[in-house]
Structure 1
Amino acid sequence: MFSGTTFYLLHQITTLLLEPVVWALLIFLALALYECGLAIGEKAGGIRRLKQQGRKVLMRAGKRRIERADFITRLSPMLGLMGTLIPLGPGLSALGEGDFAILTTAMIAAFDTTVVGLLAGMIGFVLGRLRRRWYDAALESLVLRGDKPHG
């Protein structure tokens, strides 16, 4: 089937991925929290100011901000799943050897990365839905008012 070298190489690659995955998850969580602050600003008057600049500006800004929220929504759970699966290999191996300390550490890392990935994804999802609603309403109000596109 596969040689021992193939499995060894595969294991080394996945082991090297754990730390970057954890850092990426922390960055995505920070980005999600930053986007929450931006959303508060949007709701508090940012969208109104964009509307004053015209439909094109509003559409461009809305599209970009919704895409960022969608990016967080999609990638965070994927990274969380990677962070779950990567430590499970060594954890299960440690279970076979009776080393419960390594198993415990692996399980904690697996559950923590899952939770952080899902949390960031949920924040991104909620922000994306809210922003879609806000920007759609702003565009609709421009159309109903009969504003001519400019900007």
Structure 2
Amino acid sequence: MDAIDRKIVALLQEDASLSLAQIAHRVGLSQSPCWKRIQRLEKAGIILRRVALISPESIGMGLTVFVSIETGDHSSAWIGKFAQLVTAMPEVMEFHRMAGDIDYMLRVAVPDMQAYDAFYKKLIDTMPLKNVTSRFSMERIKSTTAYPIAADIKPVKKR
């Protein structure tokens, strides 16, 4: 990725609805070479997809819960089945395997406490879990999907 690629990525992270003409103008290219760069960035897996970001409150998903999970089983079979079950739950917005004192962290979006209780019951019924701790977000102070793109950052090549 060169400086122009990084500018394109930064612009698309900020506003993926920009037209090709707007992006090309802002990075100092004509539309055809700009489009080829965007296609190359997509093919390389740098740009994964372009989406609309939604206000969770505006669609009735106003409760965000961070769920810490500890398990007593760390076998690959258990992890594979657990990952399959949890990723299929639509309330789970993010799912991370962690280092440290907890094994997994989920970010869950639900309409209210009653919906979270139903989610929680479904979660603990999926597989045996050692400990599940829920933390409720009272206020979202910062939320972004844009990674900082510095001029001197070199992308990591996919293996």
* TM-score bin, normalised by smaller chain: under 0.3
In the superposition, the TM-score normalised over structure 2's length comes to: 0.22
Higher relative CO (Cα under 8 Å, sequence separation at least 6) belongs to: 1
Structure with the largest fraction of strand: 2
Structure with larger Rg: 1
Structure with the largest fraction of helix: 1
In the superposition, the TM-score normalised over structure 1's length comes to: 0.23
